[in-house]
Amino acid sequence: MVEPAINGNLGRGRFITFEGGEGSGKSTQIKTLAERLKATKLRAIVTREPGGSPGAEIIRHLVLSGMGKLLGSEAETLLFAAARDDHVRTVIEPALNQGIWVLCDRFSDSTRAYQGSLGKVSPEILNAMERVTIGDLKPDLTIVLDVPVEIGINRATARRGASSPDRFEAEGIRFHQELREAYRKIAAAEPQRCVLIDATAEPGLVAEKIWTALRDRFFVGNPGNVASSA
């Protein structure tokens, strides 16, 4: 099997984030990509937001319980910022500095979509929070998984089973439609970083699209000559 070569300095890992609405398949696709990267002998970890570190997981519980909504969008943004600060300092940056690839289920784009576009928190506040929590750290690649709202909600409902919906799953159709549009706008505004992928297809086909996007971004040589590693 021919393994792809990697562009750039191997001393630092790559930071790849996954974004999308409820039921877009982020968890499934992150797991698949992590396994594929490890098959190419690359070290990779999977993490998530809100959460990903002990301190951030405590805040995750508060946010998904609905506490943030009760406090208002700006206060909820501060909760996310506090969680992200702990996550970046204790998990993401240390891993990247060790040459580990970090795959994160949601990151700062989610704050801009949920609290910014939908919660009407001003760009000035969001920018200030990003300066404090992530500084110059930006994802090397952001995969935006796009599905029609009805499909996403049906998937999320089936996945949840008898469990109660969390703070965001419980929102109405209009909320999720506006969320989808917010993500599409983010992807269109930053095409050098973001790749919008139709996630309505069978998971294996979606995984191939993600692998192609990653291969084109980081792997050198003729993509057609790179054998599949999964």
What's the pLDDT score for residue 229? Answer: 37
Which of 68, 89, 85, 86 minimizes the C-alpha distance to 77? 68
How far are the Cα atoms of 47, 52, 80, 113, 216 from residue 36, in angstroms, in the given order?
16, 21, 30, 29, 15
Using DSSP, how many helices (H) and how many strands (E) does the chain show? Answer: 10, 7
Quick check: is 4 in a domain?
A: no
Percent of the chain at pLDDT > 90 equals 70
Quick check: is 24 in a domain?
A: yes
**CATH number of the CATH domain containing 62:** 3.40.50.300
What's the pLDDT score for residue 226? Answer: 39
Counting the structural domains of the chain, the total is: 1
Quick check: is 112 in a domain?
A: yes
What's the pLDDT score for residue 3? Answer: 43
pTM, full prediction: 0.86
Distance in angstroms (rounded) separating the CA atoms of residues 201 and 22:
16
What's the pLDDT score for residue 166? Answer: 67
Quick check: is 198 in a domain?
A: yes
Quick check: is 75 in a domain?
A: yes
- 34-64 per-residue burial string, b: 16 or more CB within 10 A, e: under 16: bebbeebebebbbbbbbbbbebbeebbebbb
Quick check: is 1 in a domain?
A: no
What's the pLDDT score for residue 47? Answer: 98
Element holding 133 (H helix, E strand): helix 123-133
Element holding 17 (H helix, E strand): strand 15-20
Segments forming the whole domain that contains residue 188: 9-218
Distance in angstroms (rounded) separating the CA atoms of residues 118 and 107:
16
Find residue 103's DSSP bridge partners. 16, 46
Distance in angstroms (rounded) separating the CA atoms of residues 141 and 208:
16
Quick check: is 126 in a domain?
A: yes
Query: pLDDT tens, position by position, for the chain (230 residues)?
Result: 334 444 444 589 999 999 999 889 999 999 999 999 999 999 999 999 999 999 999 999 888 887 767 788 898 899 999 999 999 999 999 999 999 999 999 999 999 999 999 999 999 999 999 999 999 999 999 999 999 999 988 888 888 777 776 667 777 899 999 999 999 999 999 999 999 999 999 999 999 999 999 999 998 654 443 333 33
Which of 195, 149, 211, 120 minimizes the C-alpha distance to 24? 149
Find residue 196's DSSP bridge partners. 144
What's the pLDDT score for residue 10? Answer: 56
Burial of 135: CB neighbours in 10 Å, binned 0-12, 13-18, 19+: exposed
